[in-house]
Amino acid sequence: MAKAPKSESLFIDGPVGRLEAVFETPSNGDLTGTAVVCHPHPQHGGTMHNKVAHTLARAFIRMGFATLRFNFRGTENSEGRFDEGIGELDDALAAITWARAKHPDNILWLAGFSFGAAIAVRAAAESDVEGLISVAPAVSRFASGLATQPRCPWLVVQGDEDELVGVDETVDWMNALEPGPELLVLPGAEHFFHGRLVELREAVVEFVSRSRESQL
């Protein structure tokens, strides 16, 4: 059984105040990269402790990444107020800046779930990151009309029984992108991937591992 990662609770400087965060590193101390994970909608109960966000972090930990999860403004102990996805993009960019300063030589990936996935898409379009994982991205509400799209390796994971973000909605959005991300549809999976988190984790591990091999 793998040892639990080393975990540090901290605050990082955000655009409107401190952002609550958890920074984790593999127990063996060997680092191959850093990942920043964005949580789902804070006004619908989303926090950095969400199970899908936690699963994304654990996938990257398994591959030797340090991971930073953080609470958007106004969530739990983060300062500020919800800003309809506008200020939350600035929060994500601040988290990226912190992660890069912490380990400047590491490659950096972004990941997010639902609202957080849409924010991560926008952040990746503005940042020079090495990869992006978008799980059930709420793109029509928070990431439509991108002036540019992420140019890094990019995986979208979607359940075909998602009751909040329809698979057809996601496919239509992806078809408007060029070249667009890789899509993995999990049959029978709903929005929160109940009973499918291990499958989700393994899909992320496989994609990141494959992408990194092709970049070597």
Domains for the chain: give ranges and CATH numbers.
Answer: 6-215 (3.40.50.1820)
Compute the distance between CA of residue 12 and CA of residue 18 in angstroms, rounded to an integer.
6
Compute the distance between CA of residue 94 and CA of residue 101 in angstroms, rounded to an integer.
11
CB 116 within 8 A of CB 53: yes
Structure confidence at residue 106 (pLDDT): 95
Tell me the residue type at 207. Answer: F
- Dump the DSSP string for 42-90: GGGT--TT-HHHHHHHHHHHHTTEEEEEEPPTTSTT--S---TTHHHHH
Compute the distance between CA of residue 113 and CA of residue 97 in angstroms, rounded to an integer.
20
Q: How far is CA 194 from CA 92, 154, 155, 179, 204, in A?
A: 26, 23, 20, 31, 16
Structure confidence at residue 216 (pLDDT): 59
**Is the pTM of the predicted complex or chain greater than 0.75?**
yes
Compute the distance between CA of residue 74 and CA of residue 21 in angstroms, rounded to an integer.
13
CB 66 within 8 A of CB 35: yes
Question: SS3 of 106, please?
Answer: coil
């789902």: which residue's tokens?
A: 40
Beta bridge partners of 148: none
Digitized pLDDT (tens) for each residue of the chain, 216 residues in all = 568 899 999 999 999 999 999 999 999 888 999 999 999 999 999 999 999 999 999 999 999 999 999 999 999 999 999 999 999 999 999 999 999 999 999 999 999 999 999 999 999 999 989 999 999 998 877 666 677 789 899 999 999 999 999 899 888 888 888 888 999 999 999 999 999 999 999 999 999 999 988 765
Structure confidence at residue 47 (pLDDT): 98
Q: Tell me the pairing of strands 182-186 and 33-38.
A: unpaired
